Structure 1
């Protein structure tokens, strides 16, 4: 048996934001609290959302101080603001960070607990307030997932929190909200989505349902991400990458991610590298190391992405995939940790702790080839070089 977790109310496509009031009505939600960041507040998008809801007879209260890599402190500040009113749902507007903040606030608004108590392997299935996700980047897939990641700033640990309580009730997936994304953010979040799809497909928890979503997402993102990077106003490319990111989000929410994500979170926590960028730094080398554990599956990825032919042996197709990932990183300007400017001595000193934190997240156990701490340390060194 396969258990599936999907957002029940979805609006997908250009202009989908305009359907937010109707989606709230269908979900029986009337008193939203919105979490976003200062950029979204100053861009005019928050005003647009507020006006949409006001014209539909729905009044909105908002918290505009969400931070990248949301911390316990920022979550508690948003929770305090929410408790100043009466609300039946929390809207996350922005990239993955405001949406992840909204997910945690929605749970803490109902349950007397802490983010540290909720980190994996604990599963928070008992619901909190309803969650509404409105992504403005194409990559995190948070609008489709039952996970959130919160940073404990006292320990520099990115805590993975999981459970049905974090599953958005409404997802508004409007590619037009991504048209102003800069090239670096487009590349990083798009590669994050590609990693979601690829890892969901090779995950030990994959199913036929998640396979279909992951393969479709891979094909879309691989084909259209370069155009979205170089031609930001390209509606066809933006729509394809946004849909691919949503499909990848549904895939990995149900099949889980694997070693790339397990190793990526400690890099983000200790060095404050954007999550999509740290995934991109890792993806080629981790894929190369993992190939022996799922040769046929990686070969299928290469074929679906249009990199290898049906007549290519699996071993050849896998090698083509790794080579293509390396070339794509060069094409879209993904640096190594070294060329990005991270401190070499600190990197080396933190390797045992980062390996421990990667394993503790549980994600590496889903990988087709399962590493131990020494393997992960060696892979971090390989990625650095």
Structure 2
């Protein structure tokens, strides 16, 4: 970016409350905004983990009225959003807590849209299509990956179309995010691994994207450094609060980076793969990230050299190209160390030539790959999928 010629925008609309034990401050935060009746939107895994009971105790002790919905699904669907919307209206709620991973927070965002904007949610797909801001969302993440607690995006699945649609709007920034690393200590190992890789994909894609600007680049680099240092120890021991704290921070920083820096071909492909074949988002990103990085290397060797160094690779005395290539090696090694499957075959999915073409076309049509630093055709996207078969 040429600062003498180019301009950019940056803003963060979410109040962040970070720290071990900050969850105890939830009642005072809710009272600050004068909410009268809160709807907690979460999933059965969170309910079974004890995290929901903990929050309910805090709310009761704080004399906060609330309702609970515990049927959020791994890929948040329009169908579930409509169920929660009905409960929200029936119970006369005035704000929503998204408690959990990206699915719970995105479902809460979807409910906020639906309550204030009648009609089919499909009409709001894309950027800035939501006329009215809905009820406030308070995000309480229990994973270190999606960054949804600070972003202006919600990804919802249309089951009829087998399609994951992205809705982006300034109305979707959560009002506040409570980041308590203690909530990560019960996260299953596999989920910790793939959500951490999701955060890394946000950081790398926003840093290398053609929409990157100085602030998002700085955020992306710091998130990459934190993940490179702390993801392995966090996955090895989720009760390690130092590792958990750094990963939760990295996830939120990476989420902040991609609000403005954007994501690119990795996410363009992971959305249709998830929508059609129920591949977990972080799993799809883990498979695709090194492939897309290798494709993009020549767009900016220096940036990929920087990534390699932050992920612990020795790049001294190497040519710029060779140093950049080390970034791909570093991500591949990380995926291996975390025990994440590397191919579709490893997770028992085989795609026909026709299916691959459909996924690539959907990825291209989504427009997400427009932010890729190197131009992508449909055939380029097909080749990327073939690499992870």
Superposition TM-score tier, normalisation by shorter sequence: over 0.9
Q: 2:27 aligned with 1:25, yes or no?
A: no
Distance (whole Å) between structure 1 residues aligned to residue 230 and residue 14 of structure 2:
27
Show the counterpart of 1:367.
372
Using the TM superposition, give the Cα deviation of residue 50 of structure 1 relative to its aligned residue in structure 2, in angstroms: 2.0
Contact 2:147/2:199 (CA < 8 Å) preserved in 1? yes
| Cα distance, 1:43–1:329 mapped onto 2, change above 3 Å | closer
Distance (whole Å) between structure 1 residues aligned to residue 192 and residue 359 of structure 2:
27
Q: 2:386 aligned with 1:381, yes or no?
A: yes
Q: 2:157 aligned with 1:146, yes or no?
A: no
Contact 2:43/2:104 (CA < 8 Å) preserved in 1? yes
Quick one: which of 351, 358, 365 aligns to 2:363? 358
| Cα distance, 1:257–1:50 mapped onto 2, change above 3 Å | same
Q: 2:340 aligned with 1:334, yes or no?
A: yes
Distance (whole Å) between structure 1 residues aligned to residue 316 and residue 133 of structure 2:
46
- C-alpha deviations, 1:145-194, integer Å up to 9, x for none? 11010001011101011111111111011111011112111110000001
Distance (whole Å) between structure 1 residues aligned to residue 63 and residue 127 of structure 2:
41
Distance (whole Å) between structure 1 residues aligned to residue 280 and residue 43 of structure 2:
16
Q: 2:279 aligned with 1:263, yes or no?
A: no
- C-alpha deviations, 1:32-88, integer Å up to 9, x for none? 111111122233222222221222221001111111101111111111111102222
Using the TM superposition, give the Cα deviation of residue 310 of structure 1 relative to its aligned residue in structure 2, in angstroms: 5.8
User: Superposed, which structure 2 residues align to 1:304-343 within 5 Å?
Assistant: 304-309=310-315, 312-343=318-349
Show the counterpart of 2:178.
172
Using the TM superposition, give the Cα deviation of residue 360 of structure 1 relative to its aligned residue in structure 2, in angstroms: 2.2
Show the counterpart of 2:243.
237
Using the TM superposition, give the Cα deviation of residue 107 of structure 1 relative to its aligned residue in structure 2, in angstroms: 1.2
Distance (whole Å) between structure 2 residues aligned to residue 312 and residue 304 of structure 1:
16
Distance (whole Å) between structure 1 residues aligned to residue 368 and residue 306 of structure 2:
22
Q: 2:166 aligned with 1:160, yes or no?
A: yes
Using the TM superposition, give the Cα deviation of residue 234 of structure 1 relative to its aligned residue in structure 2, in angstroms: 1.3
Distance (whole Å) between structure 1 residues aligned to residue 13 and residue 51 of structure 2:
23
User: Superposed, which structure 2 residues align to 1:108-257 within 5 Å?
Assistant: 108-124=114-130, 126-257=132-263
Contact 2:14/2:173 (CA < 8 Å) preserved in 1? no
Contact 1:284/1:322 (CA < 8 Å) preserved in 2? yes
Distance (whole Å) between structure 2 residues aligned to residue 301 and residue 126 of structure 1:
40
Gaps of 5+ in 2: 1-6
Distance (whole Å) between structure 1 residues aligned to residue 159 and residue 355 of structure 2:
16
Quick one: which of 9, 14, 20 aligns to 1:14? 20
Distance (whole Å) between structure 1 residues aligned to residue 223 and residue 388 of structure 2:
26
Using the TM superposition, give the Cα deviation of residue 342 of structure 1 relative to its aligned residue in structure 2, in angstroms: 3.2
Distance (whole Å) between structure 2 residues aligned to residue 10 and residue 340 of structure 1:
38
- C-alpha deviations, 1:95-152, integer Å up to 9, x for none? 1111110001011111113221111145437411111100101101110111010001
Distance (whole Å) between structure 2 residues aligned to residue 324 and residue 163 of structure 1:
34
Aligned residues: 383
SS of the equivalent of 2:97 reads: strand
Using the TM superposition, give the Cα deviation of residue 213 of structure 1 relative to its aligned residue in structure 2, in angstroms: 1.1
| Cα distance, 1:29–1:347 mapped onto 2, change above 3 Å | farther
Could you tell me the TM-score, scaled by structure 1's length? 0.95
SS of the equivalent of 1:223 reads: helix
SS of the equivalent of 2:126 reads: coil
Choose 134-143 or 223-232, whichever is displaced more. 223-232
Using the TM superposition, give the Cα deviation of residue 204 of structure 1 relative to its aligned residue in structure 2, in angstroms: 1.2
Distance (whole Å) between structure 2 residues aligned to residue 342 and residue 349 of structure 1:
18
Distance (whole Å) between structure 2 residues aligned to residue 123 and residue 292 of structure 1:
35
Using the TM superposition, give the Cα deviation of residue 340 of structure 1 relative to its aligned residue in structure 2, in angstroms: 2.4
Gaps of 5+ in 1: none
